[in-house]
Structure 1
């Protein structure tokens, strides 16, 4: 027989699934020029953060085509101009895990079966990072986020953060009052939207 905590977790998982579906629909409805304009403001905010600009290495992500993700492609060259090494997510399909791997140029990224551009699996793996830029579909002021549901970031972030800073980027309409967290969810340290920044207070 399920305990009350187990029942609560099941209900929260179901709620997140429905919220994920709605969030994807909402973001998909935003015109592309608005996505790019909002993304530009997020990019400028990131480049003003000491957590980013004073890091020796940063993990970011390449936006998935057609999903209206925060478009941070221009962050890569701005980081490199400051001598910051740049890593991107890399999925190991056999182990079901994610790592971050360094590339000399984003041109080295290719779509490898997961819908987004990744480094070569043989590229140098990042063992430490100064900051990790995290995507999301929804996020709350406590730093809890709804992603695509595979849990890659939740499993990977504890390997780097701390000491690395986990920084979620989202459009302001993706910020909600509360995300129904589940036992394995890992909150970020900082939320950056196109209109504000929220520094998460540890519980």
Structure 2
């Protein structure tokens, strides 16, 4: 039953996000990036994992955060999926022009990029999120299986537009809660929600 509710919520909010004007998404993304830049977990981080936005899906655009992190000397990693095992990990990228689409629908680092064995902060995408740090992603479970390998000590921050914040996300045993929820209007310490 919970999986059905999750699937329905995922479908509904993906539809809403897709109809949100791109200009509104960019404005809200800028507010989210500003909040992340001011967040101590990101401010003090020497290594941060981001995700490259799928603009056609109106995802939160973190490209300005990538630029500001690099400008202050932080290392930036991006997710990649091993085509043989299906396991997601993060790899450091010195130049985002080296990201490539490998068949999973998002831009990934090359197999030659150095693996991120440890990270200080991981910024996580969501289609829906609740104040307790539970999220609905695209349904493949990549982040839920990957985050426990890095966090703790990495701090996990879900980013979403404020309208993607719901009272409660239906969860299953394999779902992993994140530490913080960052929207264009608020920051929630999930552990305290």
Residue 175 (1) aligns with residue 165 (2):
yes
Q: How far, CA to CA, are the matches of 1:156 and 1:201 in structure 2?
A: 20
Deviations 1:66-96 (A, max 9, x none): 1000011111110011110000000112111
Contact 2:55 2:61 in 1 (8 A): no
3-state secondary structure, aligned to 2:90: strand
3-state secondary structure, aligned to 1:66: helix
Deviations 1:141-160 (A, max 9, x none): 00000000000000000001
Contact 1:139 1:175 in 2 (8 A): yes
Residue 197 (1) aligns with residue 187 (2):
yes
Q: How far, CA to CA, are the matches of 1:28 and 1:132 in structure 2?
A: 25
Equivalent of 1:41, from 24, 27, 31? 31
Coordinate RMSD, CA, aligned: 1.0
Match of 2:90 in 1: 100
Moved over 6 A (4+): none
Q: How far, CA to CA, are the matches of 1:165 and 1:201 in structure 2?
A: 12
Contact 2:128 2:166 in 1 (8 A): yes
Residue 91 (1) aligns with residue 67 (2):
no
Equivalent of 2:5, from 15, 23, 31? 15
Match of 1:74 in 2: 64
Equivalent of 1:159, from 124, 145, 149? 149
Contact 2:48 2:123 in 1 (8 A): yes
Deviations 1:150-181 (A, max 9, x none): 00000000001110000000000000000000
3-state secondary structure, aligned to 1:201: helix
Normalised by the length of structure 2, the TM-score is 0.98
Contact 1:65 1:116 in 2 (8 A): no
Normalised by the length of structure 1, the TM-score is 0.93
Offset of 1:202 from its aligned partner? 6.2
Equivalent of 2:120, from 130, 133, 139? 130
Gap runs ≥5 in structure 2:
none
Residue 32 (1) aligns with residue 26 (2):
no
The count of corresponding residues between Structure 1 and Structure 2 is 193
